[in-house]
Chains A and B, each alone.
Chain A
Amino acid sequence: MIYVYFLVAIAIVVAAQRVGNLRAKRGLYFALGVALLCAPIFDRNDATFNVLADAGIFVILALGLNIVVGYAGLLDLGYAAFFAIGAYTYAMMASPQFNLHLPFWLLLFLAAAFAALFGIILGAPTLRLRGDYLAIVTLGFGEIVPQIFQNLTKYTGGPNGIGALDFPSFFGRSFGQNTIPYYYVVLGLIALVLLFANNLRDSRLGRAWMAIREDELAARHMGINTTAVKLAAFALGASFSGLAGVVFAAKLSLVSPDLFQFQVSVLIVSMLVLGGMGNVPGVVVGALVLVLVNNVVLPQANVIAANVGLHVDFGNYHFFIYGAILVAIMLFRPEGLLPSRQRKEELHHAAA
């Protein structure tokens, strides 16, 4: 059953990308939105919506990173750090840890702001670096943040993290153990993030990002304040990650430093690379495909293998899958599986 959701969503997004007719496109997205909103009425399987909510969290992450990497062309290899900052914001302010019990909805904003602030703190001194150096600096930042959360045992619970986080509540009604409320929160956030991502792309700021991606020197000479514009990309991308972190922490009711390692950053980069950096539908599809593989296909493959007496743990092959995606796509289809037309032409032009 879970496959139906993923495959239908992927199929609709791909179809919408293919049709040229704007009305047909809108119709398809509208139908998908309505279907997703109504799904819990007909399907009461909590586990399904658990996976879908997780998928949604990764869609938010991928869309956020897409602003930084896809639009502005700044490779950020430490994106999980902002995810961690969002998650720990919720964990520290809505748990018995300090006996603070701030509401979930307030913390969504606070975490987004915190993450954006850290994005600026990291970005301000580093953004004048060349692309590959910037990638390594962000990687270093991504390593430092979870390590600091792990070391400050007194405040963050150290390697064990913080547990027993508050359940969010909506007009006085607690989410409790249900996953469906999280599913709706995630859908709402995706709608918000999509609105931002789509409108930004066609805004002055979005054009400035793409100009920087194509040729920073030329962009600067056209009068773009490259530092400010890059900082905006960093801050916005980070704030999306902070939002995702809050929902992730609340849903899991637990945070620990090992949830935000380098692999998570690379997983999100893989989603972008697979789907097509810079193209919103592509990024959504990339995120859905990888979550489907990680959370559904591989565990089921384990069960099937165990049934036929094979002792293989396909969970051991996550790294291999991300690695193979990065290598294969970069070598054979650098624009990703579902690219925007401009990006495709750019990349093929650059390679020629």
Chain B
Amino acid sequence: MHEFLAQLVNGISLGGIYALIALGYTMVYGIIGLINFAHGDVYTLGSFFALTILTALGVSGELHGVALVVDVAIALIGAALLCGIVGVLIERLAYRRLRNAPRLAPLITAIGVSFILENIMQVWKGPSPVSFPAVVPNPSIAVAGVAIGAQQILLVGLAVVMMVGLQLFIHNTRLGRAMRATAQDRDAAQLMGININKTIMLTFLIGSALAGVAGFVSGVYYQSTWFFNGFGAGLKAFTAAVLGGIGNIGGAMLGGFLIGIIESFATWKFGGQWSNVTVFAILILVLVFRPSGLLGEAVFERA
């Protein structure tokens, strides 16, 4: 029982990261029907941006007090912003021209962008894993005999805040409404005076910024990052988005946490070498038997 709860806590933490990445997949898919294959690499870029900012600030270990709040905020917001900009650039340079092309063309382009980003990161930070400073102190509290670290609380808390904020934004602002309208019917939205290009740009900006946040958080949590991280994490986050029902924001969160928990239990029960096989098998099964995902039918609205 104790081990079960400990794995559950692990899984939820991991799931928080997947959920943040999955939001970007689901938003972009919802609005232009593209599996943005490069999204996982934007997440890795986020951890590298955060690392670079922290290094520039002279941070190399645990922080306390005001410095903790200020430096973490700078690194977090900086990584999110830079990733947002990268996301917008990718859309502008690689995807926009192909918006009306046959469906597979932008997907192939996205794979190309992913490879380019991976190569850039490999040259930038080297081919081996890079260590990330443990900026956030990690005292743990025991709940029912299971140690929960401050970093885990921060991670899940941040993920939940981001998701709630995103929901509020999409449902309560003009821009959010424009995004939902564009997702439902691009041509009709354009006729209603919505600037489609701007709306799609905004979608990429927000989705990529969330990936940047995930990158920072995972850097702090794992204390290491690697240029190729985004490939696996991206696929799992995409699995999460599909499991939850792609195009559906709530589904992406649910799917993210589920995939995190499943991976964590698979690692516990079958060993780490089977966790990827388990997750990808789930991806295949979900796509084959319920391509609309868990929440895909109940909630029709897409963002």
Contacts and interface: CB of A to CB of B under 8 A. Distances in A.
Contacts of B33: 132
Interface string A25-37: 0000000000000
A156 to B, nearest CB: 13
Nearest to A142: B280
A145 to B, nearest CB: 9
Interface residues of A, number: 43
A323 B106 CA distance: 13
Interface in A287-319: 316-319
Interface in B225-277: 231, 235, 238, 242, 273-274, 276-277
Contacts of B114: 323
B153 interface: no
A322 interface: yes
Nearest to B96: A331
Contacts of A150: 273
A334 interface: yes
A322 B98 CA distance: 19
Interface stretch (A2-10, A107-115, A133-141): A133-141
Interface string A318-352: 11101111110011001000000000000100110
A326 B122 contact: no
A345 to B, nearest CB: 14
B112 A126 contact: no
A160 to B, nearest CB: 14
A319 B115 contact: yes
Contact of B108 (A143, A326, A350): A326
A136 B100 CA distance: 21
Contacts of B104: 73, 75, 131-132, 135
A contact patch SS: helix
A175 interface: no
Contacts of A139: 235
Given A319-B118, A327-B116, A351-B100, A135 B107 contact: yes
Contacts of A327: 94, 109, 112-113, 116
Nearest to B35: A132
Interface string B122-136: 110001000000000
Nearest to B34: A132
Contacts of A141: 280, 284
B108 A273 contact: yes
Contacts of A129: 287-288, 291
Contacts of A132: 33-35, 103-104, 107
A347 B102 contact: yes
The CB with the most chain B CB atoms within 10 A, among A125, A151, A320, A323, is that of A323
A266 interface: yes
B contact patch SS: helix
A236 interface: no
Given A75-B104, A132-B104, A325-B112, A316 B127 contact: yes
A137 B288 contact: yes
Nearest to B274: A151
Contacts of B117: 323
A350 B100 CA distance: 8
A137 B283 contact: yes
A317 B119 CA distance: 7
A140 B284 CA distance: 7
B115 A266 contact: yes
Contact of B123 (A131, A273, A316, A347): A316
Interface in B173-201: none
Contacts of A351: 100-101
Contact of A331 (B109, B116, B288): B109
Contacts of B89: none
Interface in B286-303: 287-288, 291
Contacts of A151: 273-274, 277
B283 A323 contact: no
The CB with the most chain A CB atoms within 10 A, among B35, B103, B112, B281, is that of B112
B150 interface: no
Interface string A67-107: 00000010101000000000000000000000000000000
Given A316-B123, A320-B119, A137 B108 contact: no
Contacts of A232: none
B85 interface: no
Contacts of A137: 283-284, 287-288
B108 A269 contact: yes
Contacts of B122: 316, 319
Nearest to A151: B273
Contact of B112 (A144, A147, A262, A326): A326
B148 interface: no
Nearest to A270: B112
A148 interface: yes
A136 B35 contact: yes
B119 A148 contact: no
A256 B284 CA distance: 25
B107 A133 contact: no
12 contacts: A75-B107, A135-B107, A140-B280, A140-B283, A141-B284, A151-B277, A269-B111, A316-B122, A320-B115, A324-B116, A327-B94, A327-B109
Closest 6 CB pairs of A and B: A326-B112, A323-B115, A323-B116, A320-B119, A327-B112, A140-B280
Given A143-B280, A324-B116, 19 more contacts: A73-B104, A130-B103, A132-B34, A137-B284, A139-B235, A140-B280, A141-B284, A143-B276, A144-B277, A147-B273, A148-B277, A151-B274, A320-B119, A323-B117, A326-B115, A327-B116, A330-B105, A334-B105, A351-B101
